[in-house]
A and B are shown apart, each in its own frame.
Chain A
Amino acid sequence: MEIAIVYILVYIVEALILFLYCNRLFLPQKDKTAFFITYFLGYLSLFVVSNFNIFWLNTLAFCLINAFIIFFLYEASPSQAFFHALIITVCMGMSELVIMSAISHFSYNFYQSVSFFQRVCILSVTSKILFFVMMYHFSNFWMRKKSNYHSMDYESIIMTLIPLFSFWIMITLAFICSTTALSVSVDRMISVSSFLLLLVNLLIWDIYQIMQHRNTEYTQMQLQLQKEYDQKQYHETILKQDEEQRILIHDMKQHLQSLAALNQKKEHEKIDSYLNQLIASNSLQSPVSVCDHDLMNQIIYRYQRMCQEKQISLRTDIRKNCLHFLTDSELTSLFCNLLDNAFTAADYSAGTYIHLSIRRHEESQSYIIAMVNSCRNNPFPSNDRKLYTTKKSKKYHGFGLKSIQKIVDGHNGSMEIYYDDDMQEFHTILMLK
């Protein structure tokens, strides 16, 4: 009876691992009820088949039932479903073989001295932990292949230490069980502990996934807010300008009367200065298109206004069809961060400048984004590659560049930053494929 309970728990864990694996790779196409029923029936069948104790039948049933579950519940073609089911079956077999040989290596009389129940608990928990880790890394591999972002998930590699530590704990427990005569209650406690250890591993990874998902959602939300803020700024600027233009027209008669009075007095210099003031007035400026991408025009216009207030010259040279490969969120994140950094660096005196150019490089089939901005001080003080921040918060900085780097990595690109001491200019060069 107890063995049967252990096997049921093992099959539940296997079903859970399959569920986590498939959810990372495929889109579901059925509702939650269908999911529950299909998984339940599938793994119940496997439990029934396992009672016949025929190895090849078990293996074949495992592979076919998993393939059916993937094909039926997820948006996967029959070949994809079969391929992944085969991977899962092979990993399952490998994990059990590895654990069986590893445990016998550490405790040579494990299979003779330990009771059947204990053996089942220890072997199944350890092999399921290994199985889970293998499936997680496989799913990471397939996800990286499918998605645009090819950056390595270094945290998950470090998190692999948790199952490794768990293996060591399980092997220690196996050693204790094989060398020490334990009472029945201690026996049971060890068996329950090993299952709890397995659950802890699954929970940790699940929580990690949830946190990653929340971080991604939060980042998307921030980008969306940034985009909305940019649009709001743009529209507010348009409205403000519209208002200023109406006031200017209303005041036109008075301006003309003033000019006429100055003309009568023949004060030509004052007339010249007065006219220049009117021409340079913001109310006579209209937003300009600097490229063939609407959102980019909005972003540039916003920064143009900011630069005008600080007397920073912002010039752009954006060639045609150079931005359409970026999504709106990437565009906003990339250029707002680049221009924010440039604006902060150039905001120290009048007459400073920011130059942004974007064009395609045919030979390498890539897009080159180059930004040059005035920068009074060398931000690489120690001549190494680390940038020095002038922001008040020394701890929470560098996220702009990290965001830019992430987008660059996502497009198989490269980034170079350097400071020209002679010209007091900071250069940022991005190459995106």
Chain B
Amino acid sequence: MRILICDDNPLIQETLSDYLTEFFQKKHSIDLEMAFFPTGEALLGDTDQQDIVFLDIEMPGVNGVFVGNELKKRNRNLIIFVVTSYLEYLDEAMRFQVFRYLSKPIEKHRLFRNMEDALRLYYSANTYFLLETKQKNIRVALDDIVCVEAIGRQICVHTTSSDQQSVHSFKYWQEQLLVYPNFYQTHRSYLINMKYVSSFDKTTVQLNCIHLNAYLTRRNYVPFKQTYLRYLESIR
């Protein structure tokens, strides 16, 4: 994972670096690389992999809003934290999707909590599966899987672009997907990606992007509601 820190204040760069190092010490499976940039122009000149960016808005030279916008155009999955000492309302000025606003001085526990959410989003966007069907093998991003449905003996994997009949069993998909916090089993025949839930009631979960209503068992309604709301909190 490559994290970029763009701030003209070396103290802020150092603080963020220390905090992030401490945070990732507990995440042994992640190979972390950090890069530091004093200006927006320098950041825009970087062409390597960019996963997470900490961007100061108030920098000399190129406007932070412009930089953020350009970075998002290049990589829509880029996670951008806006770091600012300016307490006034900023969102109106932002033309790109800001993941979180962090105000200076940076609070460690707040940064850690937001980094947990950022990591969840990062894995969701950067994990791929090999979906084996009878005719071919398709590489599918975890984020693109909307729902896995068991129809009799057949397992249908609904993605954002198509529906595919998987050769693997429902149990295989349970083992693969339920380790990710955005997947939930609402019924013995349905595994859904909470990212695509548009509404739900006591018996069904509506996934409008593929016009599918997944069943929800009554005893699962309260646990699902709790899990879904906590999921929404993590991606807010």
Contact = CB atoms under 8 A, between A and B. Distances in A.
B207 to A, nearest CB: 9
B109 A353 contact: yes
Nearest to A362: B198
B198 A363 contact: yes
Interface stretch (B57-65, B85-93, B132-140): B85-93
B220 interface: no
Interface in B5-48: none
Interface string A286-328: 0011111000000000000000000001010111100000000
A71 interface: no
A357 B197 CA distance: 21
Contacts of B230: 416, 418, 427, 429
Nearest to A293: B89
B171 interface: no
Contacts of A363: 195-198, 208-209
A368 B198 contact: no
Given A317-B101, A359-B236, A289 B89 contact: yes
A372 interface: yes
Contact of A414 (B87, B91, B229): B229
B218 interface: no
Interface string B176-196: 000000000000000000011
Contacts of B92: 292, 320
Given A368-B233, A429-B229, A290 B107 contact: no
A64 B92 CA distance: 57
A291 to B, nearest CB: 5
A370 B74 CA distance: 30
A368 B236 contact: yes
Interface of B is mostly: helix
A375 interface: no
B159 to A, nearest CB: 16
Contacts of A415: 229
Given A290-B89, A429-B232, A431-B232, A416 B226 contact: yes
A364 interface: yes
B107 A313 contact: yes
Contacts of B226: 416, 418
A323 B140 CA distance: 37
Nearest to B100: A317
A401 to B, nearest CB: 15
A365 B199 CA distance: 9
Interface in A345-382: 353, 355, 357, 359, 361, 363-365, 368, 370, 372
A150 B232 CA distance: 24
Given A353-B110, A355-B110, A427 B88 contact: no
Contact size class for A?
A: 20 to 34
Contacts of A364: 197-199, 232
A423 B113 CA distance: 9
A427 B107 contact: no
Contact size class for B?
A: 20 to 34
Nearest to A369: B236
Interface string B71-106: 000000000000000011101100000001101000
Contacts of B103: 315
A429 B110 contact: no
A414 B224 CA distance: 12
B202 interface: no
Contacts of A372: 113
Contacts of A431: 229, 232
A11 B107 CA distance: 73
B125 to A, nearest CB: 15
A357 B236 contact: yes
A416 B226 CA distance: 6
A319 B101 CA distance: 10
A258 B91 CA distance: 42
B110 A416 contact: no
A353 B107 contact: yes
B168 interface: no
B225 interface: yes
Nearest to B93: A320
Contacts of B229: 414-416, 429, 431
Contact of B198 (A357, A365, A418, A423): A365
Contacts of A315: 103, 107, 110
B197 A288 contact: no
Nearest to A370: B233
A120 B54 CA distance: 83
Contacts of A313: 107
Contact of A368 (B100, B101, B197, B232): B232
A361 B199 CA distance: 12
Interface string B193-236: 00111110000000011000000000000000110011011011
Interface string A380-397: 000000000000000000
A287 to B, nearest CB: 10
Interface in A407-433: 414-416, 418, 423, 427, 429, 431
Contacts of A292: 89, 91-92
A288 B88 CA distance: 6
Contacts of B107: 313, 315, 353
Given A317-B101, A355-B110, A423-B109, A361 B232 contact: yes
A92 B225 CA distance: 43
B223 to A, nearest CB: 11
Nearest to B209: A363
B210 to A, nearest CB: 12
Given A315-B110, A317-B101, A416-B225, 10 more contacts: A291-B89, A317-B100, A320-B92, A355-B110, A361-B232, A414-B229, A416-B229, A418-B230, A429-B233, A431-B229
Closest 8 CB pairs of A and B: A416-B229, A288-B87, A429-B229, A289-B89, A370-B233, A429-B233, A320-B91, A319-B91
